[in-house]
Amino acid sequence: MKPLSDKLNRRSFLKVSALAGGGMILSFNWLGGCKPKELETLGMPKEWFKLNGYIKIGENGLVTILSPNPEGGQNVKTSMPMIVAEELDADWKNVVVEQAPLDTDNFTRQFIGGSQAIRIGWKALRTAGATARHLLVQAAAQTWNVPAEEITTEPGFLIHQSSSKKAHFGEMASLAATMTIPEEVPLKEISQFRIVGNSQKNVETKNIITGKPLFGIDYKKPGMVYAMIIHPPAHGMKLKSFDDSAARAMPGILDIFQIKSHQDEYERTFFDTTSFTDLVAIVGSSTWEVMNAKKAVQVEWEDFSTYEEKRDWGQRMEQRTIPGGLESREEQMQKMAEAAKKPRTARKDGNPEAAFTGAAKVIERTYRGPFLAHNCMEPMNFFAHVQGDRVDCAGPLQKPELTEQALSTRLGIPVENIEIAMTRLGGGYGRRSYAHWLIEAAVISQKVNAPVKLTYTREDDMTGGIYRPMYQATYRAALDQDNQLIGFHVNAGGLVEPPLYADRFPAGAVENYLAEDWTVVSNITVGSFRAPRSNFIAAAEQSFLDEVAEVADKDPLAFRLELLQKAKEKPEGERNDYDPERFAKVLELLKAKSNWGQATAGISRGVSAYFCHNSYAAQVVDLKVEGGQVQVEKVTQVVDCGLVVNPDAAQNLCEGAVVDGIGTALFGELNFEKGVPDRKNFDQYRMIRMKEAPKQIETYFVENKLDPTGLGEPAYPPVFAALANALYQATGKRLYDQPFASQLSS
């Protein structure tokens, strides 16, 4: 075993306390403590402590671990407790997992986003389990009057070999709670792992397949009323007036009124994005009655004027201009073209101007991506009950601790008086990071003085903003007479953020390199979308590299390996944020597993590779096109995300990313005409269908002993380009604009 080398404030990081009736509870600062609750489980202590993250050991040896982060299908509710249980040396079949509530006092990153939950929690979760194990060993040593060094553990048990003494964890739990917490704890070597690295079934599988009420949409409370909102039909408009006389006369309607989700002077933070703050709220006895009354409310809208919005990004303050006007796609594209002429230099290596001037060949291509809607399967919803200076909420959201701060400001209620229970998310992908509907539900509850369940219709969600931005990127490559890449230039931007990552591949692999970006202001609200920015720029970059390889008369996979070899041997610049050796190993394994270079009759192939969220992913797509219809026969993918905690879950994540990426690349699109989204529901917004999913997906992970990195997002961006490159091989047509399907039939 190895000791934890970091110097930690042990009493703020870890604390131990005895449980009533015997047992031990271990909490740690970033997964800290809350209030007691009752548990009716035979053999378990009757007094429990609700904590954001803890290990609880009952007198019968049962272990309960609370999973701190929201669960949205990425399986952290299984994977995070696995890490704790591993170092504890618990018997996994005797582990109970529960979802932790929100506790902003003791936890600083209790959210889904950036594929960072396992990466950031890795050391702390291991330390929590290892500390509990250490204390149990000390308790056994004192009880048996033997040296602690002679005591070993096997799943769920403490053993002293020479005296043949053996006890399950529960027998030592109460005494262990009184032991001194060590400054350092030994952590297992990876070779000793029994749980981590071996597939464990999702702890919620039975509840999911039997239809248990896990999701926010299932949440109910006695006396609860139901609410919906009406927002402007176009971005660039605001509420002027409304006539609710007809709607008020309809069955089950309790009240109709105007609400304001954020006050005008509110200084927004990173995830306080919302398109519309002035809304009409309808409250009634059932969702159906409210939905019908909503249609009967007559609302008058008006255009808003340009205004300034303050935003706190954590490290900097920003005064952002929100322009008035009703925007349309053609106007937006024209503004993007103009902005691209006046970019900001993000990185410059060598002398790219001279490289392009003296080049034997110059290739230039422009790529575009439309706005995209998230379209989570579960509609946006939240429960809120405001009672005086106390708020109780429940529902699905990705950033509860950040939303809680905004809610406190809006209601004028201290954060410590707000409780948010996290339900399972029926899809997130960034959409539930911006939980303004929670604030809306709370404002409505405060107004009607009752518990409220707010639900969005699909149309409310799809027309309400927080889209994947509209992007554009122009790439240029300079080749010398020997077809060597001597210059590389990318100019990328979007509404209202650029997709550029200036220090990623092929930065560092080309001597003369220029990266530029730009933005266009807009009143269309945008936000995180699975693998933000990477989801577009990877498609553009990897499609372009494929075309450069063709012009250079090189195999596209070999061309990428050639560039990575240059980045390894003689890297350009000092800010390259990828490891070329790890990147190359992914491509080399992909080459072997996909049998790259071996042609199959009737099958066209494309390759792509990308680094994001601290992980590396590469894919080969095999497909055929018949009558304008695309059938993906097989996708082979290789991922390096460090140590894989739960292989089955990891494979599921990567397979889901492939299916999602192919569907979005082929069909995903949302545009605007005078501020109005042109797609409002699934009858217009095309999603991938079962028959269009790949017939086969093979996923391989690079085996190493490095700490885990991101996995929910890295496999998503590269598949866009692998698909585009395979479609080129099948049709002879390069695809520069998403979505691809409409271009194949034209």
Q: What is the pLDDT of residue 22?
A: 52
Give the model confidence (pLDDT) of 60-87 as tens digits: 888 888 888 889 989 999 999 999 999 9
Q: Are 66 and 98 in contact (CB under 8 A)?
A: yes
Query: CA-CA distance, 348 to 357, in Å (whole number)?
Result: 16
Domain that holds residue 24: 2-198
496: cis peptide before it, omega within 30°? yes
Note whether 177 and 32 are same-domain residues. yes
Note whether 582 and 436 are same-domain residues. no
Report H helices in 634-693: 647-667
Note whether 150 and 263 are same-domain residues. no
Select from 436, 462, 488 the last residue of a domain.
Answer: 462
Note whether 302 and 241 are same-domain residues. yes
Q: What is the pLDDT of residue 102?
A: 83
Amino acid of residue 324: G
Distances (CA, A) of 603 to 76, 200, 516, 691, 725: 37, 36, 37, 18, 13
Domains in the chain, number: 3
Q: Are 391 and 385 in contact (CB under 8 A)?
A: yes
Q: Could you give the strand order of the β-sheet that contains 157-160, starting from the edge strand earlier in sequence?
A: 151-154, 157-160, 165-168
Q: Classify residue 248: in a domain, yes or no.
A: yes
Q: What is the pLDDT of residue 25?
A: 62
Output the domain CATH number for residue 95.
3.30.365.10
From the centroid of its chain, how far is CA 465? 18
Q: Classify residue 676: in a domain, yes or no.
A: yes
Q: Classify residue 510: in a domain, yes or no.
A: no
Select from 442, 462, 482 the last residue of a domain.
Answer: 462
Note whether 189 and 222 are same-domain residues. no
Q: What is the pLDDT of residue 108?
A: 62
What lies within 8 Å, CB to CB, of 471 at 6+ separation is 368, 369, 492, 493, 494, 499, 536, 537
Q: Classify residue 366: in a domain, yes or no.
A: no
Q: Classify residue 611: in a domain, yes or no.
A: yes
Note whether 675 and 718 are same-domain residues. yes
Select from 444, 462, 480 the last residue of a domain.
Answer: 462
Q: What is the mean pLDDT of each run of 10 residues along the chain (746 residues)?
A: 41 42 53 34 34 66 87 92 95 90 71 87 89 92 96 96 94 85 89 96 92 94 97 97 97 97 87 93 97 98 94 81 96 97 98 98 98 95 97 94 90 94 92 94 97 97 96 98 98 96 98 98 96 97 98 98 97 94 98 96 97 97 93 98 96 97 97 97 95 97 95 96 98 96 83
Q: Which of 566, 560, 651, 650 is nearest to 608 (CA)?
A: 560
Note whether 456 and 557 are same-domain residues. no
CA distance from start to end of the chain: 63
Q: Are 107 and 32 in contact (CB under 8 A)?
A: yes
Note whether 128 and 174 are same-domain residues. yes
Q: Can you give the pTM of this predicted structure? A: 0.92
Q: What is the pLDDT of residue 104?
A: 65
Give the model confidence (pLDDT) of 48-57 as tens digits: 322 224 688 8
Bridge-based pairing state of the strands 344-349 and 381-387: unpaired
Note whether 175 and 252 are same-domain residues. no
Q: Classify residue 720: in a domain, yes or no.
A: yes
Q: Classify residue 480: in a domain, yes or no.
A: no
Note whether 622 and 648 are same-domain residues. yes
Note whether 169 and 254 are same-domain residues. no
Helix (H) or strand (E) holding 311: strand 307-312
Note whether 107 and 148 are same-domain residues. yes
What secondary structure letter does DSSP report for 469? P
Q: What is the pLDDT of residue 67?
A: 86
Angle, helices 117-144/76-88, rounded to nearest 10 degrees: 30
